[in-house]
Amino acid sequence: MYFGGGTPSMIKPYLIGNIMKTVHDNFKLDKNAEITLESNPDDINKKNIKKWKRYGINRISLGIQSFDDKTLKFINRSHNSNKSLVALKMIDSCFHNYSVDLIYGIPNTTFNIWKDDISKILKFNPPHISAYNMTIEQNTVFSNWLEKGVIKLHDENILIKKFLYLIDILEKENYIHYETSNFCKKGFFSKHNIGYWKRKKYLGVGPSAHSFNGKIRNWNISNNSKYIDQIGKRIISESKELLTRKMTINEIIMTGIRTRWGINIDYLRSNLKYDILHKQFSTIKKLKKNKLIQMDNSKILATKKGKLFSNYIAEQLFI
């Protein structure tokens, strides 16, 4: 189970408890289920932690993003570096399993700020670290600033330097780089994330939530008030998409190349009648020559260099 897609730590803990009770009343939950709650550092306190644990939360995903106060102010975060450190200490002492989020590629930040962020995180030796390049969505303050030249995105070489530094330093600390943006200690792979990348079935609840049954993807309406009104009438307003063979193959390529498990050649051949080695022979040859991919038994895997260009590799292999 995963409470996220917003900031669920902002709501009263008893509401999390109500949801957990509803789940237990209607589903059989595995005793070893990973139950994650996304949280901002502002919401971490002994009272909340005590109640979350009582309701069954056994993993926290903490959105720190950076320890640099100017950077946090720039991206409009309500917490500061000190709050993050206090929250981390509390989580580290209360949870066996937790994850920390960082963002690199934020405009107006330096390589030294990135090094300092990683150094501070590693003092806690967290079980799981996620690091994402900042993306700027359309119709946001940041996109407006970008258009007006108020901010400028990092040069690609700087982004590569930051990403490679992250990989090198975390590998030295015995982290497993199991997906482009995710690193963990042995035994702490995110079950929730892996479910997406391995295309397992999942049920999404709430406005904008997505579900997948193996063949069809569903997503709920995004409007909060309409969603609540329709739920009150026992109606679920959703859109559906039946995945074609082509879409399924491309999904397997896209998700597989991002992970340490790679693109499963045998699965494509036996389940979807698609021989990627034959169909994409020249493309695979080119990607190997450029040292972006490597072959491992029946898998196509991204090299260390290739991890920087997983989207490009996927696009080249799409049918």
**Domain tally for the chain?**
3
* The predicted structure's pLDDT at residue 180: 95
pLDDT at 150 over 90: no
- Whether 312 maps to a domain, the answer reads yes
Average model confidence (pLDDT) across the chain: 94
pLDDT at 119: 97
User: Which residue, of 211, 242, 273, is where some domain finishes?
Assistant: 242
- pLDDT, mean of residues 152-156: 79
135, 182: one domain: yes
Domain range for 99 is: 2-195
Mean pLDDT highest for which of 221-225, 305-309, 315-319?
Answer: 315-319
* Cα angle, residue 265 at apex, residues 260 and 270 outer, rounded to 5°: 135
pLDDT at 147 over 90: no
Q: What is the pLDDT of residues 284-299, one digit of tens each?
A: 999 999 999 999 879 9
Q: Specify if 252 maps to a domain.
A: no
CATH number of the domain enclosing 84: 3.30.750.200
What is the pLDDT confidence band of residue 316, given thresholds at 50, 70 and 90?
A: very high
305 touches 292 (CB < 8 A): yes
Q: Say yes or no to pLDDT of 149 above 80.
A: no
Phi and psi, residue 218, nearest 5°: -120, 145
Confirm whether 249 is domain-assigned.
Answer: no
User: Do 191 and 203 share a structural domain?
Assistant: no
- Which pLDDT belongs to residue 182? 97
pLDDT at site 5: 73
- Find all residues with CB under 8 Å of 52, minimum gap 6, and list them: 13, 16, 37, 60
Same domain, yes or no, for 187 and 47?
yes
Q: 41 and 69 share a domain?
A: yes
Q: What is the pLDDT of residues 119-143, one digit of tens each?
A: 999 999 999 999 998 877 777 777 7
Separate counts of helices (H) and strands (E) for the chain: 14, 13
Residue 141 lies in a domain: yes
Same domain? For 144 and 31 the reply is: yes
Do 78 and 42 form a contact (C-beta atoms < 8 A)?
Answer: yes
Rounded to an integer, what distance in angstroms lies between the CA atom of residue 59 and that of residue 96? 8
Instruction: Give the residues across from 61 on adjacent strands.
Output: 38, 99
Residue 76 — very low, low, confident or very high, per pLDDT cuts 50/70/90?
A: confident
**Same domain, residue pair 112 and 177:** yes
Residue 148: the pLDDT is: 78
Asked whether residue 33 falls in the same domain as residue 175, the answer is: yes
Flag whether 85 is in a domain.
yes
Of the pLDDT bands very low, low, confident and very high (cuts 50, 70, 90), residue 282 is: very high
Query: Is there a single domain that holds both residue 101 and residue 167?
Result: yes
- The per-residue pLDDT for 152 is 77
Dihedral angle computed from the Cα positions of residues 261, 265, 270 and 273, in that order, rounded to the nearest 10 degrees: 130
Alpha-carbon distance of 289 to 278, in angstroms, equals 17
Output the pTM of the full model.
0.93
Kindly state whether residues 134 and 279 are assigned to the same domain.
no
Residues 6+ apart with CB under 8 A from 142: 136, 151
Do 147 and 182 lie in one domain? The reply is yes
251 within some domain: no
pLDDT band at 77 (very low <50, low <70, confident <90, very high): confident
Of 178, 195, 212, which closes a domain?
A: 195
Is the same domain home to 13 and 148?
A: yes
The beta-strand segments (E) located in 153-237 are 176-179, 182-184, 210-212, 216-220
pLDDT in the model for residue 107: 85
What per-residue confidence (pLDDT) applies to 108?
Answer: 81
For residues 184 and 211, state if they share a domain. Answer: no
255 φ, ψ (degrees, to nearest 5): -75, -35
Supply the pLDDT for residue 258.
96
Contact status, residue 182 vs residue 128, Cβ threshold 8 Å:
yes
* Residue 100 pLDDT class (50, 70, 90 cuts): very high
Q: How confident is the model at residue 11 (pLDDT cuts 50, 70, 90)?
A: very high
Q: Is residue 250 assigned to a domain? A: no
Decide which of 186, 209, 242 is a domain's last residue. 242
> What's the confidence (pLDDT) of residue 3?
97
Do residues 193 and 179 make contact, with C-beta atoms less than 8 angstroms apart? Answer: yes
Distances (CA, A) of 269 to 197, 200, 256, 276: 19, 19, 15, 8
For 25-49, the pLDDT digits (tens) are 999 999 999 999 999 999 999 999 9
